[in-house]
Amino acid sequence: MFDNYVLSDNSLKNVKKDGKTVGYEMRTRITYYRGIPLSMVHDILVEVDDQPVPRENIRFSLDGELYFTLDEMATVTFYKWEYGQEGIIFVEQEGGLSEGEHKVKLTQVTRVAYIPVPFSGTQTKTMAV
């Protein structure tokens, strides 16, 4: 519905913890006109440079402090992702991404009121780290 909101511009960056690069992150906004609890996020798919990221390496956060695996999100009803709010998608990958440009494809699949099947939004961008 709002595919142009899937990837926030200039949001791709490596993430360091204790001086070591542990992965990378990007920001996204919901592809629906209303907020939904995280439990209604059906799936998040990430590809970088045409390589799919394993589902178990993807985490999601609304506040940058509390991160959930995609499996955990299915049970999270106490956080609501509001329209216009940026969520953070973290990909656990030792060493992160190399400096420079990368082709990033992000797909959000959500379940929402009044639509009986999950629907998705996808956007592909060339982004720099």
Locate the domains of the chain by residue range: 3-128
Distance CA 93, CA 8 (A): 21
Distance CA 36, CA 57 (A): 23
Q: In the predicted model, is pLDDT for residue 129 greater than 90? A: yes
The model's pLDDT over 60-73, given as tens digits with 9 standing for 90+, comes to: 999 999 999 999 99
Q: Are 102 and 58 in contact (CB under 8 A)?
A: no
The predicted pLDDT at position 39 comes to 94
The predicted pLDDT at position 119 comes to 84
The model's pLDDT over 2-49, given as tens digits with 9 standing for 90+, comes to: 677 799 999 999 999 999 999 999 999 998 888 999 999 999 999 999
The predicted pLDDT at position 11 comes to 96
Distance CA 110, CA 68 (A): 16
* pTM across the whole model: 0.92
The model's pLDDT over 81-127, given as tens digits with 9 standing for 90+, comes to: 999 999 999 999 999 999 999 999 999 999 887 888 888 899 999 99
